[in-house]
Amino acid sequence: METTKSEATLREVTGDVQQAAGELLDDVGAQVSGTAKVLSGKAQRLYADFAELARESTVERPLAALAIAAGVGFVLGALHAAYRSRPDNVRGD
């Protein structure tokens, strides 16, 4: 997990550098690319934090995690069944 966080930090730093270079050279493409790298790094860091939190809570409370998974599965199954029971002429296919 630390590798993912360090990769995210590296991506953010390189994005900041690229964005600053784009501003210095008045290159909009470099600015946009740098901003995209920064946002990608932040998203990667959030994902790593969420995955770590989910792993810890699953270890601490396995029955709660099982109940949540069952609830999500039930809701997805109900949505799938409701979609399948619609007439063909109403679907947006």
pLDDT at 67: 94
Q: Give residue 10's domain range.
A: 2-60
Q: Are residues 41 and 82 in the same domain?
A: no
User: Do residue 42 and residue 26 come from a single domain?
Assistant: yes
Q: What is the pLDDT along the chain (93 residues), one digit of tens a residue?
A: 667 778 888 888 888 888 888 888 888 888 888 888 888 888 988 998 898 988 898 899 999 989 999 999 999 999 999 888 776 655 555
Q: What is the pLDDT of residue 60?
A: 92
Residues 54 and 65 in one domain: no
24: left (phi over 0), alpha (psi -120 to 50) or beta: alpha
Residues 36 and 11 in one domain: yes
Q: How many domains does the chain have?
A: 2
Write down the pLDDT at residue 29.
85
pLDDT of residue 91: 55
Residues 37 and 82 in one domain: no
Q: Which two tokens stand for residue 75?
A: 């809701």
Radius of gyration of the chain (CA): 21
